[in-house]
Amino acid sequence: MAQRRRVPLVEFLSQVPDPRRQCRNLRHPLASVLTLAFCATLAGASSFREMEAFCRAHESFFRGFLPLPHGVPSHDTFARVLQAVDPRALLKALCEWLMELRRRRSKDQPEVVSIDGKALRGTYQEGKGQRVLQVVSAWASEQGLLLGQVAVEEGSNETGAIPVLLDLLELRGTVVTMDAAGCQREIAEKIVAKKGDYVLAVKGNQPTLHEQVTAYFERVAETGEIERLPQHVEQERGHGRRETRWTIVARAPKALRKLPGWATVRTIVMVIRESYYEASGKLSSEVRYYVSSLSQQAALLAYVIRKHWSIENGLHWVLDVTFREDELRVRDRVSAQNLAALNRLAVSLIRADEKHSKIAIRTRRKKAGWDPSYLEYLLFEVPLPTE
């Protein structure tokens, strides 16, 4: 890139408020520092020193589209900036930029937004009594994109962070999925108020609701009425295992809908999963229950429930195994939130590369560090020289 050009990523990051004192000694534009930090994270940097080393090695590449009046910032500058920048403002800018690059959604199914929490284990400080920082993320399962993120406040839990995260999201036309931690009447009502639907796992943390759902399915199973309920069956085979899943859907009983705060429940769902392990001949099964604001469409509900697990497989697993997030030792909680945002947006951007989907995510990330043309392709969708 011989000439500097218009770069949407830099333009979006320019909207992040600069927390630094504006004075003559300010050497590095905030948008440049944040862009460098994101690119370094995308390419495999896992510390502030690695950010500096990567950016210095590729300084000529970055000068093609970034103002660097005093060269590449030092690792101390990266650390100070990421300790000071508002995590929500940074996340908002990066998410809006990614939405510009967003792939088309499936026309056959609604967009599934999976919400789940993950601990940043490197933030724990035993001597200072600092607990592990928990981050709750919203994940567009079909596109593999991060939509939002909120840190759990000290002394709170995921349940308190989820409503804050929902306030940041556009939910019209989506289906929000959560595990049992998110099965709360206030959360369900907020999703419906924002013109979305929900599928929430039901467990013992909602004893009355759980009892109503399980009692209903036990009764219809005993009477044989369960055979007349809408059902969807899926079968899979792989890794030495055969799995069959039955998704059985019923209209929510009137007694359940009369429970305080649960008037929005339209259906209850039972999923039976049976796994046969060919090597050992062992057969295992489990039953899970859900409540939903969707109608009695067994195939749709089966699809949505399966899609929820993409936040574990497509985001959290990648963060643990490829990005090795739990090994990061960042004690400052603001820095930890900002680095978590950079990691999650980097996962989103790499997963959005559909042309190279057969290449492992770990390899694609390394390639972004080795090959400036591939990094340029990810950032700006510039065709690769070999294409």
**Is beta strand 267-277 parallel, antiparallel or unpaired with respect to 133-140?**
unpaired
Tell me the domain boundaries of the chain: 8-85+353-380, 111-316
**Predicted model pTM:** 0.83
Which pLDDT value is given to residue 2?
43
Question: 111-316: CATH homologous superfamily?
Answer: Transposase Inhibitor Protein From Tn5; Chain A, domain 1 (3.90.350.10)
Which pLDDT value is given to residue 1?
41
* Percent of the chain clearing pLDDT 90 (strictly above): 53
Interatomic CA distance for residues 252 and 250, integer angstroms: 6
Residues of the chain with pLDDT under 70: 1-6, 101-109, 121-130, 155, 326-327, 331, 382-387
pLDDT tens-digit map of 85-141: 999 899 889 888 887 766 544 456 678 999 998 887 656 555 555 577 888 999 988
Which pLDDT value is given to residue 166?
93
> Which residue(s) pair with 130 in the sheet?
125
Residue 275 near residue 284 (C-beta atoms within 8 A):
yes
Residue 314 near residue 112 (C-beta atoms within 8 A):
no
Which pLDDT value is given to residue 226?
93
- The DSSP code sequence of 181-231 is GG--HHHHHHHHHTT-EEEEEE-TTSHHHHHHHHHHHHHHHHHTGGGGS-E
Strand order in the sheet with 111-120: 145-151, 133-140, 111-120, 174-178, 197-202, 282-292, 267-277, 241-251, 231-238
Least Cα distance to 361 among 370, 350, 371 occurs for 350
Which pLDDT value is given to residue 45?
92
Here the tokens at position 126 are: 């035993």
